[in-house]
Copies of this chain bind each other. A is one copy, B any other.
Amino acid sequence: MNTCKCSKAEFATDMSVPVCTQPERTGLVTIEDEPIIGETPQATLQSWLTPNSLFYIRNHYSIPQWEADTEWELALDGHVDNALSLSLKDFRSLPIQTLPITLECAGNNRSDLEPQVPGNPFQNGAVSTAIWAGVPLRKLLERSGIRDGAVEVLFEGFDVGQPTPDEESQPYLRSLPIDVAMHPDTLLAYEMNGEPLSREHGYPLRLVVPGWYGMASVKWLRKISVLQESFEGFFQKDRYIIEDDDGGAIPISTIHVKSLISWPQSNTSLPMQSYVVNGMAWSGFAHIARVEISDDGGETWGDADLVGPRYRYSWQQWNFTWSPKSTGHYTLVARATDEDGNVQPLETRWNSLGYIINGVRPVCVEVR
């Protein structure tokens, strides 16, 4: 259940949006307590919409605290004609944009890698879908007037910490290329599934970058700066990168095509009959074109039915009626293809930081 417990006594001075107390996180599978990191439980991966209290959390530093009388403001400055400063009230007076968007952590399924790598050992629950609402970032950038020569936009959160013990204390910082920042669907979101953002998910305002892995969607936004050069911070150059074959580093950006089997879960024993195998499939910017299912570990394939809402940025439900021919052990796998022709690989490309783990994932079942 969604349990953002607010009472009027807890409202901040700016009455346009309430401050929420901590929702119960008991439903999440805990990966780390401080900073809070948790993944969505398996059973919830059957639902197209992820309830707020079960939406995966990957924070880098502790959740920032506001004094009750602190006025939140967002600054927009840098290589622009007019620097801006906006209150929540200002945001709520701008046209609203609502979009269903699936977010996935770049390290989702990291625990599946062999050999194992350091980092949060996510299973397959660091992916969730919400209906986000807010203001297109583009509207503010247009209002401020980006000058010629701008190349990136930098986002700074209110959360501060040391990314590693060797690094200085710093806010969470990530940048986007200008064209991504100017995309009409890149949102400054203040609402998640019809509710104000909870503290865990970036209250009062966060970036939501559709189609990109979650690290781009900076929470607790404090400042937006238009840059004339590329940003080189820790979470841009030392993390969220993947080695190429020549030892170079490729920054991680858009979500690669992937699927998961929601039901059955691995190591299930089932009576001999027909079943509806079901799950989700997603890809950063393209609709899912096809989901194929194999019950013999990838030797033969059949097409699943694509069902439910069909949105550019949100995952696609699928159903597959499966009639096992005999008793025995089966290895079920799902493979997604998107409308741009990207096919989910059979094998994940191992990498030392454990990102983009989108190879098909076997589910072993026994039919008795």
- A residues neighboring B (CB under 8 Å): 1-6, 8, 11, 14-23, 44, 46-54, 89, 92-100, 131, 133, 191, 193-196, 198, 275-276, 278, 305, 307-309, 311, 317, 319, 321
Interface of A, secondary structure class, is: loop
- Check if A93 sits within 8 Å of B15, measured CB to CB: yes
Interface contact A317-B96, CB-CB below 8 Å: yes
Q: Which of B15, B131, B309 contacts A89 (CB 8 A)?
A: B15
Nearest neighbor of A55 in chain B, beta-carbon distance:
B194
Question: Is the Cβ of B18 less than 8 Å from the Cβ of A5?
Answer: no
**In the complex, A14 Cα to B14 Cα: how many Å?**
10
Q: Are B97 and A16 in contact, with the CB atoms below 8 A?
A: no
- Known interface pairs A98-B48, A309-B100. Does A275 touch B195 (Cβ–Cβ under 8 Å)? no
Query: In the complex, are the beta carbons of A196 and B20 less than 8 A apart?
Result: yes
Q: Give 4 closest A-B pairs by Cβ, nearest first.
A: A6-B20, A98-B308, A47-B194, A49-B194
By a CB distance below 8 angstroms, the chain B residues around A194 are: 44, 47-51, 54
Flag if A21 contacts B48 (CB, 8 Å): no
CB atoms of B96 and A309 under 8 A apart: no
Chain B residue, CB-CB nearest to A128: B194
If A4-B20, A93-B276, A99-B308 are given as contacts, then 5 extra A-B residue pairs at C-beta distance below 8 Å, sorted by A number, are A1-B52, A5-B23, A49-B193, A96-B307, A193-B193
Q: Which residues of B contact A15 (CB under 8 A)?
A: 14, 16, 18, 89, 92-93
The residue of chain B having its C-beta at the shortest distance from the C-beta of A50 within the complex is: B194
Evaluate whether A5 and B22 lie within 8 angstroms (CB atoms) in the complex, with A95-B321, A193-B49 already known: yes
Say how far A301's CB is from chain B's closest CB, in angstroms: 19
